[in-house]
Amino acid sequence: MKNLWQRMDSPLKIGFVFAVLGTSLTIIGIFRDPTTPATAWALGMGSLIGGGTWGLVSWAIATAAVEVENEVRLAEEAEVTKK
C-alpha cells in the first residue's frame, strides 16, 4: 500500500515542503530575535501564519503551472490531430 507522500500530487508536495520551510524559518526567526517572546502562542501563530502562507502560495503557483502545462499539451495534441 502506498504511503501518504506517494499518493500526493506534485503541487501538494511542493506546498507541503514550502510550508515546512516557512514554519522552520519562522521558528528560527522567533528564537533569534531577542524582542520576540518565545511563548507557545508566538510559536504557534507564527508557524501557522508563516507556514500556511508559504504553503498555500507555493501550492497555488504549482497548481497553476501544472494546469497551464496540461492545457498546452492538449492544445498541441488538438493541433496535431487537425493536420
Domain residue spans in the chain? Answer: 9-82
Nearest alpha-carbon partner for 48 in 30, 18, 26: 26
CA 43 to chain CA centroid, nearest Å: 20
Q: What percent of the chain has pLDDT over 70?
A: 96
pTM tops 0.85: no
Task: Specify the pLDDT at position 21.
Answer: 95
* 1 pLDDT higher than 60: no
What angle, rounded to 10 degrees, do the helices at 10-32 and 40-82 form? 150
CA 58 to chain CA centroid, nearest Å: 4
More confidently predicted of 13 and 83: 13
Mean pLDDT within 26-34? 91
Rounded CA separation 48/54 (Å): 10
